[in-house]
């Protein structure tokens, strides 16, 4: 009799191991999830596959946050769905990527790096799109982020730069390469700077506290353009008075 594709079980939590190729680097705040599990249990089982070197142990494919929250709560056993036969690392990465992207749990850099991993393992862009369940254009969109330099990727990872700005920089650089060399060069890192009018601006806290215009768009998620302009002008006048020795 053939082994089923998957089966359900209750497994001792100490037999589970987070997957070393987990596409999600940051698990985020687990406070609410832990509280939900404590109150209601694990509603959605953790997806695992047989550990390649340890008998009766399993690698987590989907549900790393649920596992970590349950571990912190000290749960002795957790519900799992065991995927039998998923021993190829490529298949495991695809499953982890699909699960996380469907739940919108990954930041843009994590998605880009995971898709890049699939590409480096020999999958074409069309194959990646079909396996992951997103369009070819979206695959291309994320893969372009891998042309950014390390500092820009880290700013994007932390939300200090916008994905659209990063893509624009990559596209612009490629156009410049084509104009200079007749073709687009890949591999040269592109640097994208964080927007100046943002939460990192020295006057951001002041603008955020004083802006009461609820119907105007927020610049850099801080305040409206008028309030930003007023704060900057006021700061300039203050600096001029200090330079002139005029009491504030």
Q: Please compute the mean of the pLDDT values over residues 2-7 and round it to a whole number.
A: 69
Q: Which residues pair with 58 in a beta bridge?
A: 16, 50
Using DSSP's 3-state secondary structure scheme, residue 209 falls into: helix
Cα–chain center distance at 190: 19
Whether residue 228 is predicted with pLDDT greater than 60 in this model: the reply is: yes
pLDDT for position 70: 93
What are the residue ranges spanned by the domains of the chain? 6-90, 107-111+133-181, 204-243
pLDDT for position 6: 77
pLDDT for position 107: 78
Q: Is the CATH code 3.30.1360.120 the one for domain 6-90?
A: no
Q: Please compute the mean of the pLDDT values over residues 177-198 and round it to a whole number.
A: 59
pTM for this prediction: 0.52
pLDDT band, very low/low/confident/very high, at 1 (cuts 50, 70, 90): very low
Residues 85-104: tens digit of each pLDDT = 655 666 777 777 776 665 55
């Amino acid at each position: 009799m053939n082994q089923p594709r998957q089966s359900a079980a209750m497994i001792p939590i100490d037999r589970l191991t987070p997957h070393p190729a987990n596409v999600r680097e940051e698990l985020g705040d687990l406070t609410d999830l832990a509280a939900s599990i404590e109150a209601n249990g694990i509603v959605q089982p953790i997806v695992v596959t047989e550990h390649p070197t340890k008998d009766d142990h399993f690698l987590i494919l989907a549900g790393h946050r649920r596992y970590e929250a349950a571990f912190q709560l000290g749960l002795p056993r957790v519900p799992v769905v065991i995927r039998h036969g998923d021993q190829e690392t490529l298949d495991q990465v695809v499953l982890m990527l699909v699960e996380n992207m469907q739940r919108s749990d990954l930041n843009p850099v994590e998605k880009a790096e995971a898709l890049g991993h699939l590409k480096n393992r020999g999958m074409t862009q069309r194959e990646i799109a079909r396996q992951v369940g997103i369009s070819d254009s979206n695959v291309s969109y994320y893969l372009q982020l891998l042309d950014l330099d390390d500092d820009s990727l880290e700013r994007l990872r932390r939300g200090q730069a916008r994905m659209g700005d990063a893509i624009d920089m990559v596209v612009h650089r490629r156009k410049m390469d084509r104009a200079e060399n007749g073709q687009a060069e890949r591999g040269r890192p592109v640097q994208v700077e964080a927007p100046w009018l943002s939460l990192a601006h020295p006057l951001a806290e002041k603008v955020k506290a004083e802006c009461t215009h609820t119907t105007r768009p927020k610049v850099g998620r801080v305040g409206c353009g008028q309030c930003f302009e007023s704060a900057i002008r006021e700061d300039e006048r203050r600096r001029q008075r200090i330079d002139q020795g005029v009491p504030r």
